[in-house]
Structure 1
Amino acid sequence: MNRRYLLVVLAFVLIAASVLTYLIQTGERGLGRQARPTRSLGVIQLDATKIKNLGWDAKGLDVVFNYAASLSTDSFMIITDAQRVGAFGDLSKPYSIHSIRKPLLSALFGQKLASPTNKLRLDATLLELGIDDAPISLTELQRQTTVRHLLHSVSGINHPAAAWGSLQADIDRRLGHTENQLGTIWAYNNWDYNALTTVFENTTGSEVAEAFDIGIAQPVGMQDFERSAVSYTFDPQQSEHRAAMFKMSLRDLARIGNLYLNRGLAGRQHILEENWTSLITSDFTEIGLGGLRGGHGYLWWIPSPETGLPEGTFWAWGLGNQALIVIPEWNTIVIHQSDTIEFLKRFISLISSEKMTGEEAIEQLILSCREAATRETEYCIEHRFISRCEFKQLISLVVAARE
């Protein structure tokens, strides 16, 4: 058990420090541009007339799905006006959704705020809530951090964190290693998100799995979610706060998207606090990354106008370009999933056995699938890592298919 625990911790540390830093900070230096074999995926689409009536161009959607077939995407779906415009893959199979866990945690806060028995307060401080950290304690100033600061990723606290997929080099650059004025500096900081998990569980008396099942999964009619799909990554040598990790199927992720499209309503029941959805796109931080990551609010990403996505769009992202995109102006949800297991096996092996750096490992994995001898292997066709450049192109094609 101890060995397995250490391997899990190592895997997340390696992924966080190497994969995310490399992908987001360097943009893969164009390595996503590679020859791609096309798979036969059994795409199911509405007929051309229905597609047009829902505001889409049928030929444009053919381009979208043909491009997705050239990636290692495992499941993909576009829903408009509650109709499945097009989809492929096993929509019922749960995959690790990695950092999409964060918007799901945000949803739990929105759900509890809608409850008549709510005990959560967004202006409550860590001091008031009895939240500290170990082995490194918080300072007096840091304990004045509020729940809202954590939801905005502006605590300014640079502490080690479990599953630190938070670009440590970027955090160090943004926050340094001293106290920061609360609410003034944004950083994609897993310490904030893990502390939110502790705040939620301590305040409500419910673990994330139970609360999500009762408060969200059951009311919206999830079909595949089980409480065992939530697990924790915990490294007490780094921090006392745990990361709650999720597995989820595409059709259940779609129900989350639909909940937000309906402004927190499931039927006539308010699942989320009434203005929770509007807060995401009205009370967010401009973070300067541009493109699909122009802003960040309540743990959701806000795309910049140059993406072509309409104002009011927000989306959730996870390693391997797991994505849940909510587009209220189009009354549309776009969901994308890929299984990262085989990629991570190879990535971790290259680091642990071949002593490569994270950047060297991911470059080798990307470049290996450009070679004629390996391009047609099962790994390169079905499991290779979908690069940020490729995902950006996929979303551009989705935008182009909108009439």
Structure 2
Amino acid sequence: MKRNTALWVSGSVVFVVLGLTYLVMTGENGLSRSSAPARALDITRMNDETAESLGWRSDGLDAVFNHAAWLSTDSFTIVTKDEVVGAFGALEKPYATHSMRKSFLSALIGQHLGSGPGQINPDATLQELGISDTPSPLEPKQKRATVLNLIKSVSGINHAAAASGGLQEDIDKRLGHLENEPGTIWAYNNWDYNALTTIFEQHVGMGIAEAFDVGIAEPTGMEDFDISFVSYIADESVSMHKAAAFRMSARDLVRFGQLYLNEGLANDRQVLPASWVERTAKDFTETGDNGLRWAHGYLWWVPGPDTGLPEGTFWAWGLGNQALFVVPAWDTVIVHQSDTSEFLKRFLPMIQKDGMTGEAALEQLILSCREPDNRKSEYCIEHRFISRRGFNQLISLIGKARI
């Protein structure tokens, strides 16, 4: 495994980028129907007979990959019982995973649970751990939140955070501006996850990059991961707690998913406690939404019963519909990635120089690819932003492809 010094970055640009999170999660105001032409993809598919023996209909897989050709997906693979059912793209190329970082953090915490040196006590309170914040400190009731409250996104703490951005409206709606009793209200809250990063590094004694490299990348046999692929998003004007962001390749994401699929085992080694993996699939809180984000627990999303995915499925999600699905009922891992760099080259100047809101900028970029003169441009075919609707259709087709 390669070892370099982890990169530290200012959070100002990425802060704006991750501010899209809530906008993307809530469906881009229905602007998601694409009219761009399909792409020619070099798709690797197993033969029909073998696919059917693994529970996949050939015509269903055709529909899945035909739909993917209409998206701007850069890497996509379905792996069942360690066999590649189908794939396309440069599976060895690392892409920004954005909010998938939270599921990686969950795994690291699961590896280091305990009450001894170098371990994290899930029942310890922020007061006991000496966790507060600057420039605005936590209130006494907020310090009663436990590590487990943060992991389950029920701390009830509404506090400014790095990389929060467009999430704040939903956080305010769910949590209000008064102190909440810890453990009673769910909210997708980056303050919780950034504070967990601080807690991990202080009590385990390793940075996130080194801990992931040694604790997960090496024992699972990841081929592409480098500790320089982990960077920190910081905004000290609102909070002392940083977000640890990752880049990762599709084939390494498959290995991460298989770690959960195999109850924490990798190469005959217990890398994650089996009990931690079991909690991920069972101990969750309903979010009040439908579809793929029906519930959330241990920093993973849980899809609802209307998605075509079987009970026990959980998944990691990031901006641009970066996704890793773990489907134990099918003995399957699904990875979807999209390179957001070209999109961001257009989006960020619209925010920083033109003064547009994130919603207005995203709307303009989506609509621009419907204009006849732009539809066949490289950007609109290869790099445009993948909408929630288009992504949901892909997952629905995957469910229908099962025998």
| Alignment TM class, shorter chain as reference | over 0.9
Describe how 1:282-301 pairs up with structure 2 within 5 A. 282-301=282-301
Preserved CA contact (<8 Å) 2:157 2:180: yes
Alpha-carbon deviation of 1:34? 2.1
How well do the aligned residues superpose, as a CA RMSD in angstroms? 1.7
Alpha-carbon deviation of 1:63? 1.1
The letter for the 1-side match of 2:222 is M
Counterpart CA distance in 2 for 1:142 and 1:60 is: 50
Describe how 1:145-294 pairs up with structure 2 within 5 A. 145-164=145-164, 167-294=167-294
The letter for the 1-side match of 2:180 is N
Counterpart CA distance in 1 for 2:75 and 2:115 is: 34
Counterpart CA distance in 1 for 2:116 and 2:11 is: 38
The letter for the 2-side match of 1:13 is F
Counterpart CA distance in 1 for 2:384 and 2:396 is: 21
Preserved CA contact (<8 Å) 1:114 1:271: no
5+ long unaligned stretches in structure 2: 1-6
TM-score, length-scaled by structure 2: 0.95
Q: In structure 2, what is the equivalent of residue 10 of structure 1? A: 12
Alpha-carbon deviation of 1:349? 1.2
TM-score, length-scaled by structure 1: 0.95
Counterpart CA distance in 2 for 1:22 and 1:255 is: 30
Alpha-carbon deviation of 1:118? 5.3
Counterpart CA distance in 2 for 1:231 and 1:275 is: 29
Q: In structure 1, what is the equivalent of residue 21 of structure 2? A: 20
Instruction: Determine helix, strand or coil for the equivalent of 2:102.
Output: helix
Q: Residues 166, 259 of structure 1: CA spacing in aligned structure 2 closer, same or farther, 3 A cutoff?
A: farther
Instruction: Determine helix, strand or coil for the equivalent of 2:236.
Output: coil
Preserved CA contact (<8 Å) 2:114 2:122: no
The letter for the 2-side match of 1:231 is S
Counterpart CA distance in 2 for 1:166 and 1:310 is: 31
Q: In structure 2, what is the equivalent of residue 357 of structure 1? A: 357
Counterpart CA distance in 2 for 1:206 and 1:335 is: 28
Counterpart CA distance in 2 for 1:96 and 1:13 is: 14
Q: Which moved more, 1:7-16 or 1:50-59?
A: 7-16
Alpha-carbon deviation of 1:11? 2.4
Counterpart CA distance in 1 for 2:148 and 2:64 is: 38
Alpha-carbon deviation of 1:66? 1.2
The letter for the 2-side match of 1:24 is M
Q: In structure 1, what is the equivalent of residue 52 of structure 2? A: 52
Preserved CA contact (<8 Å) 1:322 1:336: yes
Counterpart CA distance in 2 for 1:117 and 1:182 is: 26
Q: In structure 1, what is the equivalent of residue 62 of structure 2? A: 62
Residues 84-130 of structure 1: CA distance to partner in whole angstroms, max 9, x if unpaired?
A: 00000000000000000000000001122399975211101111111
Residues 287-326 of structure 1: CA distance to partner in whole angstroms, max 9, x if unpaired?
A: 1111000100000000000101100000000000000000
Preserved CA contact (<8 Å) 1:113 1:273: no
Q: In structure 1, what is the equivalent of residue 100 of structure 2? A: 100
Counterpart CA distance in 2 for 1:180 and 1:16 is: 26
Q: In structure 2, what is the equivalent of residue 367 of structure 1? A: 367
The number of aligned residues is 397
Preserved CA contact (<8 Å) 1:114 1:274: no
Counterpart CA distance in 1 for 2:304 and 2:175 is: 24
Instruction: Determine helix, strand or coil for the equivalent of 2:306.
Output: helix
Instruction: Determine helix, strand or coil for the equivalent of 2:86.
Output: strand
Instruction: Determine helix, strand or coil for the equivalent of 2:11.
Output: helix
Q: Which moved more, 1:126-135 or 1:72-81?
A: 126-135
Alpha-carbon deviation of 1:142? 1.0
Q: Which moved more, 1:310-319 or 1:351-360?
A: 351-360
Preserved CA contact (<8 Å) 1:12 1:165: no
Instruction: Determine helix, strand or coil for the equivalent of 2:289.
Output: strand
Counterpart CA distance in 1 for 2:135 and 2:128 is: 20
The letter for the 1-side match of 2:91 is L
Preserved CA contact (<8 Å) 2:118 2:203: no
Counterpart CA distance in 2 for 1:213 and 1:259 is: 14
Counterpart CA distance in 1 for 2:235 and 2:114 is: 32
Counterpart CA distance in 2 for 1:127 and 1:338 is: 40
The letter for the 2-side match of 1:11 is V
Counterpart CA distance in 2 for 1:166 and 1:258 is: 32
